[in-house]
Structure 1
Amino acid sequence: MDLLTPLDTFCRLILRAKELEAQVPTANEVQDADDVDDYDDDGDQALSVLDDDLNDGVEEEVQALLDDLADDQLAETLALAWVGAGTYDAGEWDEAFAEASELDAEQRLGELMDMPLLGGHLEAGLAAFDYNCDGVGQTD
């Protein structure tokens, strides 16, 4: 399979998506307060020190990278993520790409932005077709 999207674009997306996944959740994102003692002795939220302004910046960068893709590239990205997640295997590429192509751009973007471990899934999807990011973007 030949990529429609430049490999360096995928590699940049993988890097940023992994950065987003690695971010510590802010106090407002903690889902279950019973799991965490999130208040200090004064009743103030102690987790507020974990707030990270980079959360929004990295998420916006991932969104911008996806927004810059053409329709067929966005479908390719979603199909690769599905292959990497195990929804399809590499031998079912045509079906994965066809299903991703049937969605409109907003649905594709939503699915990608909501996908847990997007970076890892894209990386695994690329690997299923013998692509990787080793040495991509490096200047020697």
Structure 2
Amino acid sequence: MKSGLGSEDGTTPDLEISLETVCFIIMKARQFDVKEAASEPDPGSNPTDDNDRAVLQDHADDPVQEELVSLISQLSDDEKVDLVALMWLGRDGSDASDWADLRRQAAEARTASTARYLMGEPLLADHLAAGLDALGLSCADFEAEHL
């Protein structure tokens, strides 16, 4: 069953992944992207004592990373293909006319570690947002409701 991204007039391709899911992934990826290398791998201090600075550092047990990996891993194969194709669309500066080809390439390149692949992509959130924009879609309404 399609989650139904796409317009009735055919200008936006039908996507298997919902706009809400992509927007949630973008929101979480932005939280992940702002992390910096851990300055003290095992601080052992109280978060209140360090003004919660550790939340901005990249630790092995990062809950944002765990949530993103879990969410992406639970997507269907078609949703994962759409997500990778959206990232490529935004990263490479392609336009909507390239969608079918990008989606085909993403399906052919699919691996068991889609989450790891996407999480290793610098600026994942920006690329996904640019991919949506290339298709005439936006997370503005989703962000207004959730921020």
Same-fold status (TM-score > 0.5) = yes
Which one has a bigger Cα radius of gyration? Answer: 1
Paired residues, what number? 120
Displacement after TM superposition at 1:92 (Å): 1.2
Higher relative contact order (CA 8 A, sep 6+): 1
Equivalent residue letter for 2:96: A
Q: TM-score, normalised by structure 1?
A: 0.75
What is residue 71 of structure 2 aligned with on the other side?
Answer: 65
Per the normalisation by structure 2, the TM-score is 0.71
Hey, what does 1:124 align to over in structure 2? Answer: 130
User: What residue is the counterpart of 1:3 in the other structure?
Assistant: 15
Q: Does the C-alpha gap of structure 1 residues 86 and 104 become closer, same or farther in structure 2, counting only changes over 3 Å?
A: closer
For 1:91-130, what aligned pairs fall within 5 Å after superposition? 91-130=97-136
- Determine which of 125, 142, 145 is the counterpart of 1:136: 142
- The runs of 5 or more residues in structure 1 that have no matched partner are 30-48
* Whole-angstrom distance in 1 between the partners of 2:97 and 2:110: 24
CA RMSD of aligned residues (A): 2.4
Identity %: 30
| Conservation of the 8 A alpha-carbon contact between 1:100 and 1:108 | no
Report the 3-state secondary structure (helix = DSSP H, G, I; strand = E; otherwise coil) of the residue aligned with 1:125: helix
Q: Does 1:76 align with 2:79?
A: no
CA, structure 1 residues 53+94, in 2 after alignment: closer, same or farther (shift >3 Å)? same
Question: Which whole-Å CA distance do the structure 2 matches of 1:111 and 1:18 have between them?
Answer: 16
Give the distance between the partners of 1:104 and 1:91, measured in 2 at CA. 21
Segments of structure 2 that go 5 or more residues without pairing to the other structure are 1-12, 42-51
| Structure 1 segment 45-60 matched on structure 2, within 5 A | 51-52=54-55, 55=58, 56-60=62-66
**d(CA) in 1 for partners of 2:53, 2:141:** 33
Contact map agreement 2:86 2:132 (CA 8 A) in 1: yes
| Larger helix share, 1 or 2 | 1
Paired amino acid for 1:98: R
In structure 1, C-alpha distance between the alignment counterparts of 2:40 and 2:110, rounded to whole Å: 31
Q: Deviations over 1:54-90 (max 9, x none)?
A: 7411111111110121001100000000000016432
Change (3 A) 1:53 1:19: closer
